[in-house]
Amino acid sequence: MSDYISHGPALTGPENIGAVVLEVRDLSVDFGVDKKWVPAAVGLNYEVRAGEVLAIVGESGSGKSASSMALLGLLPSNSRVSGSVKLSGKELLGGDASNIRSVRGKDVAVIFQEPMTALNPVYTVGAQIVETVRLHNEVSPGEARERALRMLDLVELPDPEKAFKSYPHQLSGGQRQRAMIAQSLSCDPKLLIADEPTTALDVTVQAEILDLMRNLRNKLDSAIVLITHDMGVVADLADRIAVMRRGLIVETGTADQIFHNPQHPYTQALLAAVPHLGQGGAGSEGEVDVTAALAAATHAELESVDREELARRERENAAALAAAEAARASGEPVLELTDVAIEYPKQGRVPAFRAVEGANLTIYPGQVVGLVGESGSGKTTIGRAAVGLLPVAAGKMHVVGQDISAAKKNGKQLHQVRRHIGMVFQDPSSSLNPRLPIGESIGEPMYLAGVAKGPDLQKRIEALLDQVELPRDYRNRYPHELSGGQKQRVGIARALSLKPKLMVADEPTSALDVSVQAKVLELFQNLQRELGFACLFVTHDLAVVDVLADRICVMQRGRIVEQGTRDQILRSPQEPYTQRLLAAVPLPDPERQRERRELRAQLLATAAE
């Protein structure tokens, strides 16, 4: 392993570990919008040392990305940067363009969020790494190729030779991100800026990439600036944390200080808003010790936890499972799937694609069922089919007592059934018609169904706005005037307008910031209790399901692999996939995350045997 780092300036002996690599003083960034300067970051001060990970945390609009791109001069031309940025004592700002270009890629490298768009699709992965290497080093093509292969090996790609010859689209999302990391490391950067490196990835893949980054940090001794909104990722990787809000750093400290002793009210609010997997239940008795549950289910032993301590936690967990009440299940099922298969119909020469196979699922009135899975698992497909937007290819699907598996597309029966279903979409910006005032969007289904007209309709719209806690005069506003969370509230109000018996919510909070997500989830939960509708809640985020769901269904590759009550799934997961999924969710707490990480490593090791 040591020969990977036997060249280049990143090699530092133990004596100079901790030398300051990046020093930022009074960094301010402004953007010119409509001939006015709008500040994106104001007077930032921080430093990063070799071998250290500084996490810059903040919600959207906090200026975390803008300030970090400013380090490299990668901002659009309508921006203005002031202050001082020193890389190993050398000033980066204010110099001419060639100065910063020579630094980019060589001394400072960036890992972007979306590896599909950050890699050029018309060149092979290898060619792109070779190009980076030869741009900054005078080496022969052969040497550059050697180096590229070593890098691909370093990022733990299973077959470096094959990855070298692959085009970006031939690799999976996680492999692409690894290739991106290999490319950014190919010139032994002193500083690595990782801009939301795992946000576009599934949790299990995210956990692998985080493992990789932790290994690399220990091997390479670069300074790393990690930009993220995810507190779990921060807890997993960061040594020090800077919390940003609206362009200002509100708090900095070690991971320990920030997580256990947050001082600024915003940091406290942010940490409180992060959903913890296992803490969704009411009160402390509802809390699930997922680590203990996993350890019990897999008979694992942990180095970081005392054996007796772990045994005690496992016993507590088992007792709580026994005491947990069975989920409410009474009355006629609102949604019932029996051996359902769902296909995307063939389009032109593209053959039909079977996205879901053999699904069995029942939702009773007033019950919230969380449908969890990674991308491509078919969870959204089930949600869409329940609303009749996709045809059922095999099996029986009953919605509010009616069999819609044979219903004609756009037929009368489907029309009838749809009146009892409300649907909330993932992206609040695209799920509202931008040309209609939100009052009309909310009132449209009621008007069409002939439930209300004229002044009566207006009253109903006002009542719905009250329910989702929006001011009544928002009725005349247009979607682009509202924030994401407010738009999602409008989406919920619209879904509620016909008093549905079943609500299908397709990742309703995944496009929102954590603090907004917490509020929207709380609202959703209150409305569900108050109105008593049944709900199919589709999400990739286990922690969100944990807050809401009575029952949890875990999907993998088009099949439901495990389902049960919240307690059964979280306290005693049986399927290896469920266990892996639970173990991959990072906890927003550094110590507990260390336990969880160890457990995950054991899980994977046993799975490999």
Partner 1 sequence: MTPENMTPDLRTAAPARRHVEHFVADFSETPLQATDKVQEDQAPLSLWGEAWKNLRRQPLFLISAFLILVVVAVSLFPWLFSGIDPASEACQLANSDAGPATGHPLGFTQLGCDVYARVIFGTRSSVTVGLFTTLGVLMIGGITGALAGYYGGWVDAILARINDIFFALPLILGAIVMMQLPVFRANRTAWTLVLILVTFGWPQIARITRGAVIEVRNADFVTAARSLGVSKFGSLMRHVMPNSLAPIIVVATISLGTFIVAESTLSFLGIGLPPSVMSWGNDIQSAQASLRSNPMPLIYPAIALSITVLSFIMLGDALRDALDPKARKR
Q: Which residues, 74 to 93, sit near partner 1 by CB under 8 A? A: 76-78
Distance of CA 203 to the CA centre of its chain: 8
- Strands 248-254 and 240-245 turn out to be antiparallel
For position 150 contacting partner 1 by CB under 8 A, the verdict is no
Q: What letter would DSSP give residue 104?
A: B
Q: What are phi and psi of 167, to 5 degrees?
A: -90, 155
Write down the least CB distance from residue 598 to partner 1, Å. Answer: 12
Contact 182, 126 (CB under 8 A): no
User: Scanning residues 401 to 420, which ones bind partner 1 (CB under 8 A)?
Assistant: 410, 415, 418-419
Contact 249, 243 (CB under 8 A): yes
- Which listed range, 92-100, 478-486, 525-533, 535-543, lies at the site for partner 1 (CB under 8 A)? 478-486
Q: Residue 281 and residue 569: Cα distance in Å, rounded?
A: 13
Contact 26, 45 (CB under 8 A): yes
For position 456 contacting partner 1 by CB under 8 A, the verdict is no
User: Scanning residues 430 to 449, which ones bind partner 1 (CB under 8 A)?
Assistant: 430-437, 441, 444-445, 448-449
For position 272 contacting partner 1 by CB under 8 A, the verdict is no
For position 352 contacting partner 1 by CB under 8 A, the verdict is no
For position 531 contacting partner 1 by CB under 8 A, the verdict is no
Write down the least CB distance from residue 347 to partner 1, Å. Answer: 9
Strand partners, 31: 38, 79
Nearer of residues 49 and 580 to partner 1, judged by Cβ: 49
Residue 229's SS3 state is coil
For position 426 contacting partner 1 by CB under 8 A, the verdict is yes
Q: How many CA atoms lie within 13 A of 489 on its CB side?
A: 26
Write down the least CB distance from residue 594 to partner 1, Å. Answer: 9
Write down the least CB distance from residue 308 to partner 1, Å. Answer: 23
- Give the total of residues touching partner 1 (CB under 8 A): 86
- Which listed range, 145-153, 202-210, 240-248, 566-574, lies at the site for partner 1 (CB under 8 A)? 240-248
- The residue whose two tokens read 């000033």 is 91
What is the DSSP annotation of 76-142? -TTEEEEEEEEETTEE-TTS-HHHHHHHBTTTEEEE-S-HHHHS-TTS-HHHHHHHHHHHHS---HH
Q: Residue 130 and residue 109: Cα distance in Å, rounded?
A: 15
For position 63 contacting partner 1 by CB under 8 A, the verdict is no
User: Scanning residues 556 to 585, which ones bind partner 1 (CB under 8 A)?
Assistant: none
**Token pair in block for residue 366:** 């007033």
Write down the least CB distance from residue 527 to partner 1, Å. Answer: 17
Q: Residue 150 and residue 219: Cα distance in Å, rounded?
A: 14
User: Scanning residues 326 to 345, which ones bind partner 1 (CB under 8 A)?
Assistant: none
- Which listed range, 187-195, 258-266, 310-318, 364-372, lies at the site for partner 1 (CB under 8 A)? 258-266
Nearer of residues 513 and 546 to partner 1, judged by Cβ: 513
CB neighbour class for 110 (10 Å; exposed up to 12, middle 13-18, buried from 19): buried
Q: Residue 249 and residue 231: Cα distance in Å, rounded?
A: 16
Contact 206, 219 (CB under 8 A): no
Q: What letter would DSSP give residue 239?
A: S
Write down the least CB distance from residue 318 to partner 1, Å. Answer: 32
Find the DSSP H helices in 497-589: 514-531, 542-548, 566-571, 576-584
Nearer of residues 5 and 601 to partner 1, judged by Cβ: 5
**Token pair in block for residue 319:** 């007792």
Write down the least CB distance from residue 220 to partner 1, Å. Answer: 10
Q: What are phi and psi of 529, to 5 degrees?
A: -65, -45
For position 29 contacting partner 1 by CB under 8 A, the verdict is no
User: Scanning residues 494 to 513, which ones bind partner 1 (CB under 8 A)?
Assistant: 494-495, 497-498
Q: Residue 493 and residue 379: Cα distance in Å, rounded?
A: 23
Which of 30, 40, 48, 51 is close enough to bind partner 1 by CB under 8 A?
51
- Which listed range, 106-114, 131-139, 183-191, 256-264, lies at the site for partner 1 (CB under 8 A)? 256-264
For position 249 contacting partner 1 by CB under 8 A, the verdict is yes
For position 98 contacting partner 1 by CB under 8 A, the verdict is no
For position 467 contacting partner 1 by CB under 8 A, the verdict is no
Distance of CA 454 to the CA centre of its chain: 43
Find the DSSP H helices in 104-166: 115-118, 125-136, 141-154, 160-165
Site mask for partner 1 (CB under 8 A), range 363-402, x = bound: ------------------------xxx-------------
Site mask for partner 1 (CB under 8 A), range 114-133, x = bound: --------------------
Nearer of residues 494 and 580 to partner 1, judged by Cβ: 494
Nearer of residues 135 and 436 to partner 1, judged by Cβ: 436
